[in-house]
Structure 1
Amino acid sequence: MPENVNLLPNFIHNAIDEDLKNGKYADGIHTRFPPEPNGYLHIGHAKSICINFGTAQKYNGLCNLRFDDTNPTKEDVEYVDSIQEDVKWLGFTWDDRMFYASNYFDKLYDFAVELIKRGKAYVCDLTADEIRQYRGTLTEPGKESPYRSRSIEENLDLFKRMKDGEFADGEKVLRAKIDMAAPNITMRDPVIYRISHTKHHRTGDKWCIYPMYDFAHPLSDAIEKITHSICTLEFEDHRPLYDWLLESLGFDSNTRPRQLEFARLNLTNMIMSKRKLRQLVEGGYVSGWDDPRMPTISGLRRRGYTPESIRNFCEQIGVAKSNSLVDIAMLEHCVREDLNKRADRIMAVLDPVKVVITNYPAGKCEYLPAENKPNSSAARYVPFAREIYIERGDFMEVAPKKFFRLKPDGEVRLKYAYIIKCTDIIKDAAGNIVQINCTYDPDSKRGGATAGRKIKGTLHWVALTGCLNAEVRLYDYLLKDEENHTEQSDFIKALNPDSLVVLKNCKVEPSVAWAAPGTKYQFLRQGYFCIDKDSTKDSLVFNKIVGLRDSWAKKKK
């Protein structure tokens, strides 16, 4: 378990402190992270993971991982596996406390029977559309179902027959009997069980009725002796139902779970709806759930984000009671800040043009020391030879006065190497520059007689000798407009057509030849990059993680 996770004071911790002060939860604090296995987790779930596991850690308590697998029509073992991988990658462990709502299907059925026996639930034959019509509006009360007055005996018989598979999907539901005139629409006789003749990924064909989330969740919490059910703000209106179920079934108010809601994470330029992320995957707009443009934890991991940076981001944004939109630049700042400490520096040329140093001996190759990280004594050695590559954008044939890179008759310093001067350029038939000829000052490298000569421009480069070809994938935001996020109905029209640019003929220094997928580097003057899982020993692929410019740091000043 990582240290110092989400330890900043917040209203959730204040509420727990008050509960403990009042003598509640004497056996200790127990939280849970309850994902639905119907898709991959995204960075909004990372915030919830940090809050739930971090709160348990703060109070020396426990946190469970529990899958809310109550809707088999949308669930898959693939999602179960990915969720476990994501939580572990973020640095958290549930030990032996991994559970499923389906573990409790027998108990949940018994709880439903008990509600019927207490006159607090009934079987209803209205269709889904009719239930919506009967529910009323925010300004008008609902209308009672004509089946609301069924006897306890009839309801018990019908509910058993629902379980036994006598009825078709949608033919009947079990509803809580609360108040059709309640100001909170959630309390107007909500559905708590529905019929679904669907095979479940864990229970198979045993069940053809499944509990609704609002019924299964509080009771699963109670079964597991959860003390605080920490969830996002959209469940605030559901809290009265949460409490009603626990009270109606006789759970002790001093030990039963308490629901607390926090604001969900919304990020500019990001899609934060699991349903819409699924639409992107199934529609082929991205390559999969782990596409590096996706805000999924697996996508961020593949792109090169670190778990430390995500945890730090979740801690910095804090725990709020009201929804807001967080600037994605803040997340990128956290990633950049972490990678600056851990990523080795290398040189890579993304848009290469060849430079021939005409007075450098043909066939000669020397290895020059280069730093791996600032303030580190470790070094690597990069080959230098007569022919090198530089960025095409680092040369201008007709340059403005303040262009301090390479130009005709101009001088630049090559990082870790020599000062060179442009003497000539060679163009193809179309007028494109295909080669730049230069001379070098042999005494200008480190330790040489002219090493201290003042030159305004310093360029990165890669020698042809031993260099590696690489594909580099440059990623931009999925959404063009930072305000066009998940609530937009036709969000596909807001997708950024330039969210992925692939560069095919990049050149990278040979020190990365045997690096494993996931290895992160800072390309000098370019940004932070990560070796993608598509890489092979013969074909390197890099993902751009984040650039060097830190707009968030500037905003903070």
Structure 2
Amino acid sequence: MDNETSRTADYFLVKLINEELDAAPFDRTMCTRFPPEPNGYLHIGSAYAIQTNVEIAQTYNGKFHLRFDDTNPLKEDIAYVNAIIEDIKWLGYDPGEHIYFGSDYAERIYDAAVILIKRGKAYVCDLTPVDVSAYRGTLTEPGVDSPYRERSIEENLILFASMRNGDFKAGASVLRAKIDMRSPNINLRDPILFRIVHASHYRTGSDWCIYPMYDFAHPIQDAIEGITYSLCSIEFKDHRPLYEWVLRELNIPAPPRQREFGRLSLTGVVTSKRFLRQLVEGGYVDGWDDPRLPTLRGMRRRGYTPESIRSFIAEIGSIRTQSTVDISLLDHCLRQDLKEKTVSVMAVLKPLKVVITNYPEGASEMLMIDNNSENASLGSREVPFSRTLYIERDDFEELPPKGFHRLSPHAEVRLKGAYFIRCEEVVKDELTGEITELRCTYDPDTKSGTGFTGRKVKGTIHWVDAAQAVKAEVRLYHELLLAPSVPGEDGGNWADAINPESLVIVSNAWIEPFAKHARPEQQFQLFRHGYCCVDSKHSPGENLVFNRTVPLKDSWNKK
């Protein structure tokens, strides 16, 4: 297993599996699986589940399967399949030839249902969906037997065949397991195994009009593929008795074992697929790859690296129950990954014009600056310098407070990689009083890299050459939601829950010309502003668009 993603020896799933294998070993190779439904996109919680399954397989020199749970034609699409495969490969876990589809097992799952009917363990029920729910009971009240529960095996076989042949409308009948309507576990109160859906499937077309429920299909699919450990998140723990019932009633030898781990949530982040869909379909965000979303597509577009995501999951370690992790840990892992491998460039987001009055008009020069001060192997580059520059408006104060070590009237600072400059005059708009220009002088003897050891200045500020700087748009991202709760949970309105400052677009930024040939998803560190990447939807020849991935300040280190 890769040292980057290996977890500590106290990883509870490893301990559990070791104990179980010592007591009852399998006669086949360890095999785990990740079974997404192709009706949406993967998110950070999916990454946790994928990495957990991959690591368990690697720990025991086994195999990892990607299997699509595609038994609902109303919501699934090949576009989601392709996106999920792409995202898993981007994350660093290529399933290779081990990509499977639940729909390929349709005939075998149907045959399994017929076996249960013949054994008196399943029956066709004609209750309406509303009545099925009402008969099921509550957490405190037992369920009530369906009036169709005692149909004969022969009648059930005929009715189930009629369901398959398309003789009934959707919702007219379902196939249910015959277990125990008084079980304290509601999942065992005669759960639905098959339902009627008259819709074309993206793989099987119109071959089928009945489709198995996940809780029935899942254990059968696992058995077909030889899965040893079906590892899933904690909300499926109450479903485990049904998983085991299906395998037991079908007499599956050496059946797969379902075991659960905790579900991952992040502070200030929506990870529920249902809520993500509401945000996307309601137009509150810019699609499934909106950089404010925790989808892998959104995180990739924002600039998170697969290495940082894997490192973050490794830092979390084992989760036994539902856990919420501070997102600052994820940002910390990203900074650790990027700090020594990204080129640092100068960009001015709120430009203030500076004219160096004693620099020759029409003259310019190229200055050398390090690509990354922490990693000399990244080398250096040339930066143009001339009479007119832009600096950050925040780097100048006409009436500087105590401790302000940047530029102010008659004060001196160093321009990063260049010269000392002194502000001699402040030019303002006559109508608004806004500062429009600073007129400064420079000291030619203070050029960086020349061994200057004269007087010192306390402040260094970044800048760009006005003549050659490149216009850019910089998008600054913050938490999407104003409060920890989400409208889907408390009945509120998404429009009221969205943080209006979750996306701040800076449309008049200037960046040094080094970045003008940047490719989509290429990452940089913008001096003082943070790590960013070129937006993946940027087209060459258009104005550059940068997405800020994360600021430089690391709040996790303080914690």
Q: TM-score, normalised by structure 2?
A: 0.97
Q: Matched residue of 1:89: which SS?
A: helix
Q: Matched residue of 2:260: which SS?
A: strand
Equivalent residue, structure 1, for 2:537: 534
Q: How does 1:77-476 map to 2 (within 5 A)?
A: 77-252=78-253, 255-373=254-372, 374-377=374-377, 378-428=379-429, 429-448=431-450, 450-476=452-478
Deviates more, 1:116-125 or 1:448-457: 448-457
Indicate yes or no: 2:510 matched with 1:512: no
Q: Distance in 1 between matches of 2:484 and 2:8?
A: 28
Q: Matched residue of 1:148: which SS?
A: coil
* CA-to-aligned-CA distance 1:454-498 (integer Å, 9 cap, x gap): 211110100113110001111111112245587444361321111
Q: Matched residue of 1:443: which SS?
A: helix
Q: Distance in 1 between matches of 2:337 and 2:258?
A: 34
Q: Matched residue of 2:80: which SS?
A: helix
Change (3 A) 1:485 1:52: farther
Change (3 A) 1:232 1:486: farther
Letter of the 2:408 counterpart: K
Q: Matched residue of 2:437: which SS?
A: strand
Letter of the 1:271 counterpart: V
Q: Matched residue of 1:345: which SS?
A: strand
* CA-to-aligned-CA distance 1:390-421 (integer Å, 9 cap, x gap): 00111111111221111101111111111100
Q: Matched residue of 1:354: which SS?
A: strand
8 Å CA contact 1:290–1:300 kept in 2: the answer is yes
Q: Matched residue of 1:20: which SS?
A: helix
Q: Distance in 2 between matches of 1:291 and 1:320?
A: 28
Equivalent residue, structure 2, for 1:522: 525
Q: Distance in 2 between matches of 1:481 and 1:386?
A: 48
Change (3 A) 1:509 1:485: farther
8 Å CA contact 2:4–2:311 kept in 1: the answer is no
Letter of the 1:474 counterpart: L
Task: Report how far residue 447 of structure 1 moved.
Answer: 4.2
Deviates more, 1:242-251 or 1:478-487: 478-487
Equivalent residue, structure 1, for 2:479: 477
* CA-to-aligned-CA distance 1:210-243 (integer Å, 9 cap, x gap): 0000001111001000000000010000000000
Q: Percent identity?
A: 55
Q: Matched residue of 2:445: which SS?
A: coil
Equivalent residue, structure 2, for 1:34: 35
Q: TM-score, normalised by structure 1?
A: 0.97
Q: Distance in 1 between matches of 2:356 and 2:7?
A: 57
8 Å CA contact 1:303–1:545 kept in 2: the answer is yes
Task: Report how far residue 341 of structure 1 moved.
Answer: 2.2
Letter of the 2:479 counterpart: Y
Q: How does 1:490-509 map to 2 (within 5 A)?
A: 490=492, 492=494, 493-509=496-512
Letter of the 2:498 counterpart: L
Equivalent residue, structure 2, for 1:7: 7
Deviates more, 1:234-243 or 1:442-451: 442-451
The aligned length equals 553
Q: Distance in 2 between matches of 1:274 and 1:171?
A: 29
Q: Distance in 1 between matches of 2:294 and 2:209?
A: 35
Q: CA RMSD in A?
A: 1.4
Q: Distance in 2 between matches of 1:495 and 1:247?
A: 48
Letter of the 1:471 counterpart: E
Q: Distance in 2 between matches of 1:482 and 1:338?
A: 28
Q: How does 1:57-96 map to 2 (within 5 A)?
A: 57-96=58-97
Q: Matched residue of 1:92: which SS?
A: coil
Letter of the 1:49 counterpart: I
Change (3 A) 1:270 1:488: farther
Q: Distance in 2 between matches of 1:486 and 1:155?
A: 40
Letter of the 1:477 counterpart: E
Change (3 A) 1:186 1:452: farther
Q: Distance in 2 between matches of 1:235 and 1:394?
A: 54
Task: Report how far residue 441 of structure 1 moved.
Answer: 1.0
Task: Report how far residue 537 of structure 1 moved.
Answer: 2.4
Indicate yes or no: 2:557 matched with 1:553: yes
* CA-to-aligned-CA distance 1:301-322 (integer Å, 9 cap, x gap): 0110000000011111122211
* CA-to-aligned-CA distance 1:505-547 (integer Å, 9 cap, x gap): 1000011121210100000111001001232324100000000
Letter of the 1:125 counterpart: D
8 Å CA contact 1:424–1:437 kept in 2: the answer is yes
Change (3 A) 1:486 1:7: farther
**Alignment gaps of 5+ in structure 2:** none
Q: Distance in 2 between matches of 1:405 and 1:217?
A: 63
Letter of the 1:539 counterpart: N
**Alignment gaps of 5+ in structure 1:** none
8 Å CA contact 2:329–2:556 kept in 1: the answer is yes
Q: Matched residue of 2:175: which SS?
A: strand
Q: Matched residue of 1:436: which SS?
A: strand
Q: Distance in 1 between matches of 2:387 and 2:76?
A: 59
Task: Report how far residue 363 of structure 1 moved.
Answer: 1.5
Task: Report how far residue 283 of structure 1 moved.
Answer: 1.1
Q: Distance in 1 between matches of 2:428 and 2:234?
A: 62
